[in-house]
Structures are given as structure tokens and as C-alpha cells.
Amino acid sequence: MTAFIALGCVTLTEDVKVLAINASPRKYGNTYKLLKVAVRAAEESGGKVDVIHLYDYDLKPCKGCISDDEEACRPPCLMEDDAWEVLKKVRDSDAMIVATPIYWYGPPGHLKTLIDKMTVFENMAVVEGRSWVEGKVAGFIAAGGDSGEILTIAYLMVVFNSMGFLIPPWALAYYTGLGDALERQDRVLDAANVGLAVVRAVKEVRVKEWYEPHLLEKLGGGELINSVRNEADELREKTWEEREHLLRKMRSTDFRKFRQ
């Protein structure tokens, strides 16, 4: 019997549905190689993986509808391109593995375009009260000939988490260099663990909703805010004399002699 567990907008069945995105135009490069390692680990862990090459899809830039009418930004993003075909795969997945090349310390424009269009899911928090991707799991792989791997992954983690995705431990892997990433066993192992981590996270998580829009009210609303403000004011009064003395000392320091 198949067990169904509500997980935000995720329906968790015995099969963990994983969308693996190769965001490199090179279908044979290090980005794809490490992604395939992660895919194999995800499959061995019980994931049902759909691998797509993002550059196979025509994605036109976001028009920024949300800036004119916040409630106009919603599925399916009415553009004459292939965006909804990819977005449906995002919607129907339990987890995503995003593998990207490094273009000037960040992801390529084509991946950024997809992320911009994923706002139609996040913005459902405004339209109907909850992001459609809340509770989904994400892991990330970055590969490039030069530096920027951590900046790229950090950017992706911040954006995906801001949309409602969960990011489990060890959900990142990277490689920089012009050689074959598969020659670096440590990087290959990291990539494999990305695939394992996202599937494990989906299986283990049992929280239906993560972001509570009425939490502030439950904590006391204005009373809580005033309490925190009063405590901070009291602490400032107790410590300001010492702080002011430090600031005066810093202002009077002759910084010129520290130039060399």
C-alpha cells in the first residue's frame, strides 16, 4: 500500500520524486558528471529521478509582473516559451538537485531565468497564503574552471530557502578546475551525498507547514515588540556610557600612522 503524507504542497509517496537539473549548456561536462553521480545515489536511496538539460528549453526573461500587481504573479507565468513545462516538473517534485556551471562567480543566466520564473510558486504565499514549493527539498552542485563555487552555491541556497525549500546537511558539492572532476574522488563523494541527502530529507520530514503567517500574533504581537524594544532600551542605557567612551577614543585615534 502506498503511504501518502502531506508535506506543505508536497505529496510524499513511497517514491521520492527528484528533479535533477543540468544547468550547463555542455551536456558532457563536469557539471553533468557530478550531477549523474548524485542522481545515481538518489536512485539507490529510493528516489525516482527525472534528469533534464535546462538549455533544451526556451526560457524567456521574467517580465517583472509582480512589481505592477503582486497578485498577477501566479502559475503558469503566461509567456510564449517552455517555462511552464519546466515549472510543472518543479511543482510535481519532492526534491530538486540543481547542478550549475560557474559564470563569473554565479550561475548562468538561463538558470537565473528559471529561478526568476519560480517566483510564481513562492508568490502564492501572497495569492493564497502559502508557497507552492514550501517543504520541498533542494541540493546543489557547482562546477567551473575558475573560482566562485561557494558564491554560486550560497546564492542558490539563499534563494531556494527564501522560496520555502528545505536544505539538508551535506546538500552541496563543487569542483573548480579545467581537469576531469571524476578524477577528484572527494568531490565525487560529495556529489553522491547530495543525492543521498535530498532523498533522506524527504523521507524523514514530517512537518506539514513551516512558515507560520500568524506567528507574531500568537507570540503577543505589539506586546512582544514593545517588550523587546524596552529591554533593548534598558540595555542601551546600562552600556551606553562605556560604548560612548569607546567611540570617543576611536574618533580621537590618529589613523594616519596606521597607513603603513
Q: DSSP letters of 28-58? A: TSHHHHHHHHHHHHHHHTTEEEEEEEGGGS-
pLDDT of residue 199: 93
pLDDT of residue 201: 92
Residue 2 has pLDDT above 50, yes or no: no
pLDDT of residue 39: 93
Q: Is the N-terminal amide bond of 76 cis, ω within 30° of 0?
A: yes
pLDDT of residue 10: 46
Task: Quickly name the fold that domain 5-204 has.
Answer: Rossmann fold (3.40.50)
Q: How does DSSP assign 64-119, residue by residue?
A: -GGGT-GGG--TT---SSSHHHHHHHHHH-SEEEEEEE-BTTB--HHHHHHHHHTH
pLDDT of residue 216: 67
Locate 200 and state its grid cell: 533522506
Range scoring the smallest mean pLDDT among 59-63, 88-92, 109-113, 139-143: 59-63
Q: Where are the domains of the chain?
A: 5-204, 215-258
Residue 4 has pLDDT above 70, yes or no: no
Q: How does DSSP assign 127-168, residue by residue?
A: HTSS-TTTT-EEEEEEEESSS-HHHHHHHHHHHHHHHT-B--
Locate 144 and state its grid cell: 567551473
Q: What is the tens place of the pLDDT at every residue in 156-200?
A: 999 999 999 999 999 999 999 998 888 888 888 999 999 999 999
Which residues, at least 6 apart from 15, have a Cβ–Cβ distance to it below 8 Å?
A: 46, 47, 48
Stretch 228-245: mean pLDDT: 84
Percent of the chain with pLDDT over 70: 89
Instruction: Assess contact for 102 and 152: CB atoms under 8 A.
Output: yes
Stretch 239-257: mean pLDDT: 83
Stretch 223-236: mean pLDDT: 79
Residue 224 has pLDDT above 80, yes or no: no
Q: What is the tens place of the pLDDT at every residue in 51-85?
A: 999 999 999 998 888 888 888 888 988 888 999 99
Residue 206 has pLDDT above 90, yes or no: no
Stretch 230-257: mean pLDDT: 83
Q: How many residues can be counted in the chain?
A: 260
Residue 27 has pLDDT above 90, yes or no: no
Residue 21, classed as helix, strand or coil, is: strand
